[in-house]
Structures are given as structure tokens and as C-alpha cells.
Structure 1
């Protein structure tokens, strides 16, 4: 686990050097690779990563085993010490800790019973992937040998995970203060064969806990001994497991937002000057520096950027995207570091120090690192969503998108093609809900358990809300990728139509005007966006062409048998006819064209959406935008976007292209 993910030292001259040490991209690359390549995870009680937790949660083919050589001796020593000193662990729980009993095993059974107080109907149970990850994290933390639990119980957990036999846990009911007591009690209930606990198979069937144990070779449920029930239920495993999957997704989505911002610059024909390294070195924030460097790398070599018709300075959604995304990346990385510490921590109570022969009562079960990290990461996700929404609305607005049609409509008749108008409404809804979720959870803690748990972290609740935020941001990203590909196609279609218009007009001018005014006619065509007239070129463009001919004829006259004025009508008729025919053919040719990357490093995104997922330009015909968006969203849910990200950045070496001199204009 890296210590801080970024280099932050600023030299005396105030200019931050090229990023050194661990880069954000390096960390995301490691995560994606680890997630996809994991076949068997051998738990050691240390070095567990958010990518490994996510892989176990989402991939049924990942095997799980315990590293006995590393951990068994310390686990056995701790369990033996408890077996020899049960009277040291005879106290009751919480506000009843003054009560003592000699029936320490029965006390553990009662603990599991009274904590089975949740509701586990289908709609109110924790998703199986999260439950599976929770079992993994709990086993990992118990392997460190401070919890007084038998190795056989940890082996049973690993076997259940390995066979994808996962107990149903309540979705709600944990405050992650004395750990995630309620949901973890259902895992303990599965191990002890409680009749109310149901276990879900890989096929989705529900079986009893006893049957699940038999399927992994355990003939009878466990009878818990002193401390073992407490070791199982008194920890932060559920909150930290959900948080680990959130961190995995958030890192990928953050890097994807950097790539899509570069693609947005291409679609808008923006000015890439905003990525100049000096600008970001002078600011000094490492997340910003790396975001800008990646964007500069992606845009290097892309043609059609910064056209002179553009504003000198692009709007903030593009121009300040590195400054906006950088702090979100740093927040996500800090949260990831905190959660990776938590899933490798000893977080139950009391702790058994065998070397000193003491029982230590403390509060490592308090899940504050989870609650705070998840509140912070949710704010970062909401900020990324806000940028995506701003870029999307700029892209679909004809007043802001630099010559593209409103709603990115590509149909021949814009009165019957509303393009992505519905998608823009959906994006507003997604963004609003995402901003609402940015509100913190942790300040809403209530005093619990007769005021014993009078402060509590709400870690699992915050992690669950962050998981919701991830899903909404995925919806936004899927919609945005469809829009960016649509914009890419529409821009290319526009260029094809413009060339067809030029050829038709020049041909008509040479036929009727004998080449007179050719240059002025081309200028008239270039002055306007092709989509401002292409639906009715005869009514919108031809009058401007007529004006260009008349203006030049008045200015200098025309020699020959017939004046320009005498052939204007003929020119108009010839041009109108040629435009109708040529633009139809141009659209047909465009539909049959082969995709050309044109040197774009963002091209893998387009290729993924168009070729791999089988989508096409939307033209107002039968296919709806939602059909394409669903394909992209489902592919993201299937973890396919990671490979696309790595493909975009396969030549990235951690530094931007060499700084180029600023332009003189």
C-alpha cells in the first residue's frame, strides 16, 4: 500500500516538477490489473487491497484460501489463551458489562441470537456481493491473532466464500460503532446453524445454514466458545467491504472522467492550451498536475482543435477541468488509502495480547475512518458528476457546442429528430440525485444502546449511500459516452455534408456562372455551420449564395455575353437541385464509411461504444438513445470499462508531452 500516492514537495522556486513517485494512473492500473487477473486469493491477514475485495465480491470464479503458514500459529495461540482463561472474558456486553457469567460459551450463543434482529427479505437484504466481501474482510482481520477465535471458524468462512454460499445479511440496522453488529451476526448465525439464517447459492437458491455447511464438508454447525461470537460480530467488516468496492469504482470513474474531458475537448474542437504543464506546475496540486498531463497526452496529435472561429478561452467545464478533477482525485485516493488500512486492521474488542497475557478493552470497532472516507468520497463523486453534466449540456446545446446541431440530432429532418433531448432531461435527474447524496451521513448519528454507543460512525450507511452515488455516476458516464460518440459522428457527418455542399455549389457555379464568384461562394459556405441550413439548403443557404453573387457583380461587373444577373436564377435552380442530390448521397456514404481513428488516443472509447457494443449514430429512426445507453451501462457493470481506460493510456509513461512554446496570437 503506497504511503500517499502523490509527491507533494514544492521546491524553492515554487514550480512543482514532473510528478514522481506513485501516480494516480499507476494505482488505477494496478487495481484494474489485479481485479481482472485474480484467480485465487490467499488471505494472510495483511496486504488485502480494495481491488481484491471487489474481485471477490463481483467474480464468482475467484477462489479464496487461508495462508496457514503465515497466520495459523498466531491464531491458534490466541484461541488457546482464551480457552485457558475463559474467566477473563466472562463480562456481559455494553451497558450490561457489569454482569458476569461462568457460562461463557452460552454467552456467545446469546450474543448471536439477540443480534439477529434485522430484516432479510429480498428487497431489504444486503446484495450478495457485499455480503461475500464482508466475510472476506472479517476473515482477513481475524487472522492477525488478537481475537481469540479458532482457525476452524476462519476456514469455514473461507470455504463458504470459495463455494459462493453466502448468508443473507440485513441491508439496514448497523451503526458501525461497536462494529457492524447486526449484519455480522448473520454470518455468525450461518456458522452456528441458526434456523432463521438463509444462505444463497450461486444459482440464487436459498438453503439453510446447516445445508450450506454440509456442502463445504462441515458436518455439524459450530458451538461457539468464549470470545468467538464477539470476535465474529464486533468489527467493521461490512462497512469496510462495501467501502472497498466503492473506492475501486470511484478510482476508475475518476480516471474515466479525465479521459472523457479530453474527448469532450475533441468533440468541441476546443483549445488544448488549458493543459499546458506550466499552468498546473505553478498551481502545485498533484491531482491537478496529473489530470492535465493525462489530458495533454491524450490530445497530443489530435487534429481539428482550437479552430480560429472558437472563443479564445473555452468555458470552465473544459478549461478548468484539471483544476476541478484534481482535488476529487486526491480525495478519492485519500479515502482509498484509509479503507485499505481499515480492511487490514484489527478492529474488534476486546483484544488478546498473548505475549503480555492481557485482555485489552478499547474501541477499534468504531468505524469512523469508513464514515468520514465515504462522506468525502461521495462529495468527490458528486463533483465529478457536476462536471460531466456541465460538459454534457454544453455539448447538446447549439448555442454552445461550436457548430453542432441542437440535441446532437443527426437526422435529415430535425423537426422529426430530437436527438438526445430526453437524455439531457435524464442527466438533470441523475445529477440532482447525485448532488443530494453528497450530503454527509456521519453528522446524523444517534445515541444508541442505552447511551453506551453514544457516538457512532454510521460507516456502513455512508458506504451504502456512496455505492448509490457510484451507480448514478455510472448512469451519467454511460449517457455521456453515448453523447460524445454521437458528437464525434455528427461532427464528421457535418464535414462530409460541408464538402458535398462545396462541391455542389462549385459545380453549379462553373456550369452557370463560368466560375465567377467561386471564392466568395466558398467563403459564404464556410461562414455558417452546415447544420444551420442543411435541412433546407434551398431556403437558407441559396439566398446567401445569391447575395454573394450579386454583391460581387455590383462591385466589379461581369464580362461576357450574359451578365451574372441574367443567370442568377439558373444558378439558384441548378444549385438547389445539386444540393438535394449531393447531400442525400453524402449521408448514404457516411453511413457506409469505415471508422478512422485519425490519431486520437481517446479512440478506444469510441471503438468500445460503437464497435464492441454495436451502437450506431442516432438519426431519429427506430432505435432510442436509452437502448444505446443501457448497453454502455451494462458493460460498465460488467467491469469492461477498465480495459478501455488502459487502452487509451497504453503509451502513457507518467509525464506529459514536452512543453511547447505558447502561440503568438
Structure 2
């Protein structure tokens, strides 16, 4: 029987893996540094798979056990050379370049790889499971580089750097510093894995880096969305917008769940605000003798259409999370060991198209989120639009001081970069590997570019939030806004002081970005 991974908290506050791994368990392990252990039934499943493959492959040709790899699979490998074959694969493919992927994302990739190996479809020696658990618990993460993955056969190059560490070679991040693996293993009394059968290929042949990066992307996107709801609610509030565009009745008339949820969250945010207006109090009574209305009858789209804009973001994010978790809990190796049916199946479960497509979809909606933040920011900065604030929400002397003028350039530039980065990777397949890999997913690139788009979006939103609290300061309405907006005001004000004189802005933008990414 195959045991899927599930997280259960035992009395020792150790998370035991023995069922389905989900987003919230990733959060516990990645952000709360929760230690893990493997259920004994899972280890028995892994051992059973290993012993079966070892016996099954004695008189058969099994890819990656007694053959070369890729287009070199036509070459039979002698029994005496099988172990060396695995080492050769790991060392030759540890060829990534570019910037190192941050440890948080690498740890997520390790957890994703651990998960799939524990399903019992890979035939690995149990030492692989045992060492990876120790590395995760000790926050020892391999140095894995951004460049190198084409997304089929999975993340070969990036996962080769993980495998390199598993055999005691390469480099790791340890206590915030890059260290030789050999040194860290000696210091922590760790032993490299035992290469017994196909441990090199099993570690490398899968979608775990793109999926791990994708999981972290999804977690950050949900934070981004929550802050965008906060910002959108606050800006509607401070310009005293009408509330009917957020009404239950209007949004319920549209069938999309995301739109309904966003509107509901914004209504909850604004529940105790004294600034939001009721249309029936202003435009539905005593308007017979008015030719030109002093106040806008309807707000600009960036304020009025937030549920319709962020609704698709929420729906897409939910779908992305579903696909990623399905991938995490799938066997994405090749070949697949089936102990129950006493067979080994060759195919392409390593192909990353599912993840690649979801990452492209995610970066599209995140880019749209950054565009919404940029337009709301522009609305606040342009007095011809909002008609209640000074140019650039300048609290100083107009002409002498500049207020938020400088950071608008940053927001506009960063949003433009997101728009460019949102071109899809999913359809950018380039054949390689002597045309053995003649159509690939580019899923790793898709996930890493999405990571960049998300980070950019947080920068734009940080600038908008600073501008919102400056506007609240100018209008002197901090005691009239909703309690949720007041909490946001206090949180950001603790980082950024009210300023009339011009100040160097980049430390404040970076500090707010860091705060909202963590909260």
C-alpha cells in the first residue's frame, strides 16, 4: 500500500509525514521552522519499493538503472558500473548558473522532493529520505542556481545540485553563509546517502524545484492579495466613495465566486467606516434642480471595479494552489515503480507543463494586481483626478518640496517590468538533449519569473500604502477611517514617519515591502 504524505502534530510538536501535504503545512515548515519526521509505514513503503526494484531489474532493462540517460539510453550499463553511473549523472548535471535561489524556496523544493520520494514510486534507498529530513530540520539548504532548468525531464540541473549535496559534495547555505557541504556534514555529523540503485536519477528526475518555488509564490500572492484588498478599501474610504459597487446585491448578480468574496471582504473592511457614502443619501433625493453634480456620480474604475479586477486574481490563485498541491502529492519520476502490480512503467511524469501553465497564469494576475495598485497610486497623486489632495500628496511647500513624486517613477517602472515579464514561458519550448527532449515545459523559468513579478508587485503596493497613509495624514481622517484601515495606518506609520520635508525614500519603501511580505 502507498502512503501519501500528511502532516500530523504529535505530542513532541514534531510534524509526522504520512498523508497529503497541503499549503498550510508548507507554511508551518517553511515559515515556522517546524521540524518533521517520517511515519514508519512510509519508511516501510520506501524500503519495499527499493527491494522490489532491485530484484525486478536483475534480468530486465530499466531506464536509469542499467542504461545511460536521455538519448544515451541505448547504451547498456554493466553491473559493475551502475553505481558510478549515478555519480556521473549528478556531477555532470550540476551545471546551474546565475543567482542562487533563496533558501526559503530551496527548502520548499526539498520538501516537495521528499514528498514524492516517500510515495514509494521511485525505488530509492531509505538513506535518501533520512538525510533529506535531517537537512530540512537543520535548515541546511543546497546552493541551487536559477539558470539551467527546461522543465522536462523535470528540474534536472537544479535538482542535480540537491543530489550533489546528498552525496556530500557541492555547497550549502548554513547559518546564513555559503559553506562546503563536506565541512557542514562533518560539523553536524551527517552521512551522505548510499548510492545503491538509481538514487541519482530519482533525486533529479522531477518537478520539485518548479513546484516548491510555485508553492512559495502562491503563499506570497495570497499575502499580496490581502494587502491589495486593504489598500483598495482604504482608498475608497478616504475619497468618500459610494458603497453600492461593493454591495451584496450587485456582486451577487455576477456568478463568479472570486468577485463575490472580494466584495464581501471589502464590505467587512469598511463596516465601521464613517467616510463611505450611501448613494440614497446623496443622489436619490432632492436632485431635481441640479444640472451639474459637484461630486462624481461614479468612481474611476480602479476604485469602483476592484471586485471585478481582484476576483479573477483570487479564483486563479485558488486554482493554482490546487494544481500545485496535486503535483506535490504526485509521483513525478521516471520510470514509476509499482510494487502492487509488480511492474515498472516508463513514461513522462517528470514533465512540468501543469506547473508551467499555472505559473504563467499566476504571474498574469499578479501583474494585473500591480497595475491596479499603480493606477490607484496615480489617482491619489493627481489632484485633477481626486480633487481633494495636493499634487503628489505633498504635505510640504508646493514647488519646493516633491512629496511622493519620485517614488511614482519607481512604481511606474516596476509595473512596466511586470507587464514585460508576463509573456508566457509555457509556449517557449526549445528542443534540446539531441532532440530527445523535443518539447519541454520551461516550468522552472516560469516559476522563477513569477517570483520576480510577485516581488515587484510588493514594491508597487508598498509605495501605494505609504501614499495612502500620507493622504490620511493630509485629510486628517485617521479617526474617521475604519478600524482595519486605522490598523494599517498605525502599522505603516510605525515604519514611515509623516513627512513634509523631502526625505530619502528608498529605505522606507524597502522596509514597508519587507513588512507586508512578512505579514
Same fold by TM-score, threshold 0.5 exceeded?
Answer: yes
* Alignment correspondent of 1:429: 413
Q: State how far apart, in whole Å, the 1-side matches of 2:159 and 2:77 are.
A: 24
Residue 499 of structure 2 is aligned to residue 618 of structure 1: yes
Residue 366 of structure 2 is aligned to residue 374 of structure 1: no
Q: State how far apart, in whole Å, the 2-side matches of 1:191 and 1:261 are.
A: 47
CA contact (8 A) 1:130 1:242 kept: yes
* Alignment correspondent of 1:42: 16
Residue 199 of structure 2 is aligned to residue 215 of structure 1: no
1:7-56 CA-to-partner distances (Å, cap 9, x unmatched) read xxxxxxxxxxxxxxxxxxxxxxxxxxx9xxx9754333x42233443554
2:434 equivalent among 424, 436, 450: 450
Residue 515 of structure 2 is aligned to residue 635 of structure 1: yes
* Alignment correspondent of 2:172: 199
Residue 377 of structure 2 is aligned to residue 392 of structure 1: yes
Structure whose alpha-carbon radius of gyration is higher: 1
- Show structure 2 runs of 5+ residues with no match: 1-7, 283-293
* Alignment correspondent of 1:164: 139
CA contact (8 A) 2:394 2:401 kept: yes
Q: State how far apart, in whole Å, the 1-side matches of 2:411 and 2:430 are.
A: 35
* Alignment correspondent of 1:117: 95
Per the TM alignment, residue 425 of structure 1 is displaced from its structure 2 partner at its CA by: 1.4
* Alignment correspondent of 1:533: none
Comparing 446-455 with 104-113, greater Cα deviation is found at 104-113
Q: State how far apart, in whole Å, the 1-side matches of 2:101 and 2:476 are.
A: 47
- Show structure 1 runs of 5+ residues with no match: 1-33, 494-594, 642-665
Q: Label 1:170 to 1:301 Cα distance change in 2 as closer, same or farther (>3 A).
A: closer
Per the TM alignment, residue 358 of structure 1 is displaced from its structure 2 partner at its CA by: 0.7
Q: State how far apart, in whole Å, the 2-side matches of 1:118 and 1:634 are.
A: 28
Q: Label 1:492 to 1:49 Cα distance change in 2 as closer, same or farther (>3 A).
A: same
SS of 1:442's equivalent in the other structure is coil
Q: How does 1:59-70 map to 2 (within 5 A)?
A: 59=31, 62-70=33-41
Q: State how far apart, in whole Å, the 2-side matches of 1:408 and 1:109 are.
A: 61
Aligned residues: 488
Per the TM alignment, residue 491 of structure 1 is displaced from its structure 2 partner at its CA by: 0.9
1:477-524 CA-to-partner distances (Å, cap 9, x unmatched) read 11111011111111118xxxxxxxxxxxxxxxxxxxxxxxxxxxxxxx
Q: State how far apart, in whole Å, the 1-side matches of 2:25 and 2:514 are.
A: 22
Per the TM alignment, residue 254 of structure 1 is displaced from its structure 2 partner at its CA by: 1.4
SS of 2:157's equivalent in the other structure is helix
Q: How does 1:514-533 map to 2 (within 5 A)?
A: none
Per the TM alignment, residue 599 of structure 1 is displaced from its structure 2 partner at its CA by: 4.4
1:218-240 CA-to-partner distances (Å, cap 9, x unmatched) read 34x33412222111110111110
* Alignment correspondent of 2:486: 603
Per the TM alignment, residue 377 of structure 1 is displaced from its structure 2 partner at its CA by: 0.3
TM-score under structure 1 normalisation? 0.70
Q: State how far apart, in whole Å, the 2-side matches of 1:440 and 1:598 are.
A: 41
* Alignment correspondent of 2:287: none
CA contact (8 A) 1:378 1:466 kept: yes
Q: State how far apart, in whole Å, the 2-side matches of 1:117 and 1:409 are.
A: 51
More RCO (CA 8 Å, sep 6+): 2
CA contact (8 A) 1:349 1:361 kept: yes
Residue 326 of structure 2 is aligned to residue 355 of structure 1: no
1:244 equivalent among 207, 215, 218: 215
CA contact (8 A) 2:227 2:516 kept: no
Q: State how far apart, in whole Å, the 2-side matches of 1:167 and 1:421 are.
A: 42
Q: Label 1:294 to 1:63 Cα distance change in 2 as closer, same or farther (>3 A).
A: closer
Q: Label 1:299 to 1:223 Cα distance change in 2 as closer, same or farther (>3 A).
A: closer
1:177-203 CA-to-partner distances (Å, cap 9, x unmatched) read 111111111221112233xx1122113
Q: Label 1:64 to 1:137 Cα distance change in 2 as closer, same or farther (>3 A).
A: farther
CA contact (8 A) 1:618 1:625 kept: no
TM-score under structure 2 normalisation? 0.89
* Alignment correspondent of 1:481: 465
